[in-house]
Amino acid sequence: MQKFFSFLILIVTVFSCSPTEESSTPPVRTGVIADSAMVVSAHPLASEVGIQVLKSGGNAVDAAIAVQFALAVVHPAAGNIGGGGFMVIRETDGSVNSLDFREAAPLAATRTMYQEADGNVITDLSRRGHLASGVPGTVDGMVSAHIEYGKLPWQELVQPAINLAENGFILTEKEASSLRYVNEDLEDFNTILPENLLGEWQEGDTIFHPELAASLKLIRDLGRSGFYEGPTADLIVEEMARGKGLISYDDLISYRSVWRQPVRFTYRDYQVISMAPPSSGGVAIAQLLQMVESYPLGEWDRLGAETIHLLTEAERRVYADRAVHLGDPDFYLVPVRELLDSAYIARRMENFSPDRATSSDAIQAGKIYPESEQTTHFSIVDQQGNAVAVTTTLNSSYGSHVVVGGAGFFLNNEMDDFSAKPGVPNMFGLIGGEANAIAPMKRMLSSMTPTILEKDGQLFMVVGTPGGATIITSVFQTILNVIDFNMTMQQAVDFPRIHHQWQPDTIFTERGVLSAGLIRQLNNMGHLVDERGSIGRVDAIRVLENGKLEGGADPRGDDTAIGY
């Protein structure tokens, strides 16, 4: 626990000032400006890989594939081949699409697999170790994306990640401290120690990933079957046998990513395109934006009680819907149309009081699990104006903490995103029920919200973030920062974040950003306020009025925007 907090302090340098009477806002910054193309990702080396693909004639989807594989090497806490994610695409002609490469529950999974005989939930089982993993979706997703949209040869997109893994690369301070932090757990959860990851890593050290390089070479040479069949499938199944996990050959061979219609809606003069279920992100961001649309937000103080109160009240209502109605649409009839109906949304806000907090119904007090949150998002615009938003994850930092013996990659702990039992919170304090109950081959509900905005039929913004339950509210606030509060892309990304998720009934704020006076004011309105470490790592791109691109990379991490 001690270690966790010192880790958090490390990653919150930007917001570590102590509270003052004045709310503290970061200085106004403009992000990287470029004429033609931009990649913003969680790691400078991954952004560089993406920009090189674009410079060699690749399109935004090619670059996204290369960045996804590069992040699996340079940012292994979240970048992955053992996890999954979502990709939202907007082509320059305005056509849109989205790819669900979310993990799926293994065939042997059961509804009560994380419960003891008396119904008690054993939370550790869905969070760490072999039973926590869903069937990985990333490799199939990248292959599908390439078949549908790729321009450059597949091999050229996987090769940069192999080079990084094989030739080694220099650790940033944040990556070194993250690896030091996970070391102890690696010893606890692995049947074969991943020797290349162990050590007292320091900034500037060079790290090599030889086994991961070998796994990536199979993917480069054989595509889908280089992962879901052959030597890598053998290594995954052997790992499962040693650690009593569930993923089988049948699971691997039957996994398929799915193209889905994105959620589309309007907010003020903007069209928004976001991820449909099994992510709750698109539905939630649509509800949130439409709940606040009739208020003159731009005339209000961005960090004033009035604004925080309105956002909180919308969030409370949306997360309550999420808990009951959202799940994998292939297994549960998600009432998307009803949830997005404007009359329904207006009704949800009918009992909103401008000066009093509505109490969240005490179904089960959720509690935020003190977990370092690690997912990763990247945004890409290519020289033709095609845009891609990808959010990808192992779930929490380093997923299950299990490295597939001999294959060098981490497996996810995405099974914790299911509702292990109605009303029992997962590691992000999120609760759920029937819609998100465990079933074989079902996808666990996600909050990932890769999102693209248009204005007047033209590309306007590409945005997304990690952060578990806070993903939706971080994307929500970033969009408001730009559209309603007129911020630059970078300023919108830098800006302090605040979060409410219905249960627990508490406003969470990044440490030190709300003044004591403002917290008192919110308390008097009936809100509980709690400070925490940084929220999210938003990586976004905005098209400026002169047609140039502004990349906003989140200073909360190593995130880097590169353009040309």
396 binds ligand DON (CB under 6 A): yes
| 516 C-beta neighbours (distance < 10 Å), count | 11
In 3-state terms, what secondary structure has residue 373? strand
393 binds ligand DON (CB under 6 A): yes
> What are the tokens at 467?
């952060």
277 binds ligand DON (CB under 6 A): no
Among 47, 59, 257, 375, binds ligand DON (CB under 6 A): 375
Among 175, 373, 382, 539, binds ligand DON (CB under 6 A): 373
Instruction: Give the residue among 103, 102, 99, 214 at the shortest CA–CA distance from 150.
Output: 99
What is d(CA 412, CA 414) in angstroms, rounded to the nearest whole number?
A: 5
58 binds ligand DON (CB under 6 A): no
Stretch that binds ligand DON, among 58-66, 105-113, 440-448, 492-500 (CB under 6 A): 440-448
Taking the complex as a whole, how short is the minimal distance between the CB of residue 279 and ligand DON, in angstroms?
A: 7
> What are the tokens at 465?
């973030």
What is d(CA 228, CA 8) in angstroms, rounded to the nearest whole number?
A: 36
471 binds ligand DON (CB under 6 A): yes
Task: Determine which helix (DSSP H) or strand (DSSP E) holds 175, and give its type and residue range.
Answer: helix 173-189
Stretch that binds ligand DON, among 157-165, 188-196, 227-235, 465-473 (CB under 6 A): 465-473
Residue 104 forms beta bridges with which residues?
Answer: 135, 443
Residue 389 forms beta bridges with which residues?
Answer: 88, 379
| Nearer to ligand DON (CB atom), residue 216 or residue 471 | 471
What is d(CA 498, CA 508) in angstroms, rounded to the nearest whole number?
A: 6
Backbone angles phi, psi at 231, to 5 degrees: -55, -40
| Nearer to ligand DON (CB atom), residue 137 or residue 551 | 137
Per-position x/- string for 314-353, each x denoting binding to ligand DON as judged by CB under 6 A, each - no binding? ----------------------------------------
| Nearer to ligand DON (CB atom), residue 191 or residue 372 | 372
Q: Which member of 312, 375, 488, 506 is catalytic?
A: 375
447 binds ligand DON (CB under 6 A): yes
| Nearer to ligand DON (CB atom), residue 475 or residue 514 | 475
Where on the phi/psi map is residue 234: left (φ > 0), alpha (ψ -120 to 50), or beta?
alpha
Residue 20 annotated as catalytic? no
DSSP single-letter state for residue 150: -
Kindly tell me the burial class for residue 358, based on how many C-beta atoms sit within 10 Å of its own C-beta (0-12, 13-18, 19 or more): middle
506 binds ligand DON (CB under 6 A): no
DSSP secondary structure, 489-500, as one string = HHHHHHS--EE-
138 binds ligand DON (CB under 6 A): no
| Nearer to ligand DON (CB atom), residue 62 or residue 373 | 373
Among 448, 459, 518, 522, binds ligand DON (CB under 6 A): 448
374 binds ligand DON (CB under 6 A): yes
Task: Determine which helix (DSSP H) or strand (DSSP E) holds 310, and give its type and residue range.
Answer: helix 305-325
Instruction: Give the residue among 511, 504, 500, 455 at the shortest CA–CA distance from 474.
Output: 500
419 binds ligand DON (CB under 6 A): no
The residue ranges that bind ligand DON (CB under 6 A) are: 373-375, 393, 395-396, 414, 417, 446-448, 466-468, 471
Q: Which residues are catalytic?
A: 375
